[in-house]
Amino acid sequence: MPLKILLNGAHGRMGKAVQEAAAESDCEIVAAIDTGDDASKFINKCQVAIDFSAPEGTIGLARLAAANGAALVIGTTGHTDKQKAAINEVVWNVPTVWTGNFSVGVNLLFYLTRKAAEALGSDYNAEIIEMHHRMKKDAPSGTADQLLEVLREARGLKRRRGIRHGRRGMVGERPENEIGVHAVRGGDVVGEHTVIFAGPGERVELAHKAGDRVIFAQGALRAAQWVVDQRPGVYDMQDVLGLRD
């Protein structure tokens, strides 16, 4: 039996990619909708809802999934802290995969970034550079935000302390524990992320470059197939791929 999916954000780039990938997998998109459509007509026919809509559209879908016993996969990025808090109040009662990037390669990058940060220590200054197509609305990317969290946790930094989004003017010497984040936009770049560890006499760089959105769509479907068998709670692709230590 194919996995039955409600897809929110069906007309966007990722929504279209998920529909194409589903046609070649053991998944069925029962309903392909967008923010503003009435998802309640379809949710009881689906095992899992996948959200690639807009930040304001996620909370309604999360509440609907919770009320109808459906699992949830969230790929939408750009939520405000208030929106994230509202979503978090709901999704702990729902089997949920919530991540900014479903690529297998990017999630390996998360894992390697944590290992490198732990091994290299604070003598190696950490910077994140991300580049996406000119149409992307949020910055930095959800993936860059996750990389930032990986580095912050590995170095024991308090949330949002020591984070520098770009630099301009006389900013002074770089503090030891600062983490720089830089967003570049242009052309039709699908997604590129680089983590730099610049130390005394050497530099280590970890990078991932995406050439086709199909890798994200396939990852989202993989997450959907995995999460329907999980207990309520919030997971990410590290859990889906078994990359937890």
Q: Which residues are catalytic?
A: 132, 136
Residues 6 or more apart whose CB falls under 8 angstroms from that of 36 comprise: none
Structure tokens at 8: 């929110």
- Say if strands 95-98 and 179-185 run parallel, antiparallel, or are unpaired: unpaired
CA distance 64 to 80: 20
- Burial of residue 25 (CB within 10 Å: 0-12, 13-18, 19+) is middle
Helices and strands: H and E segment counts in the chain: 7, 11
Strand partners, 131: 184, 192
| Residues facing residue 98 across a β-bridge | 74
Q: How many CB atoms lie within 10 A of CB 167?
A: 12
Contacts 24+ apart (CB under 8 A), 53-58: 53/8, 53/9, 53/12, 53/15, 54/9, 54/78, 55/79, 55/80, 55/83, 55/138, 56/83, 57/8, 57/9, 58/83, 58/87
CB 111 within 8 A of CB 150: no
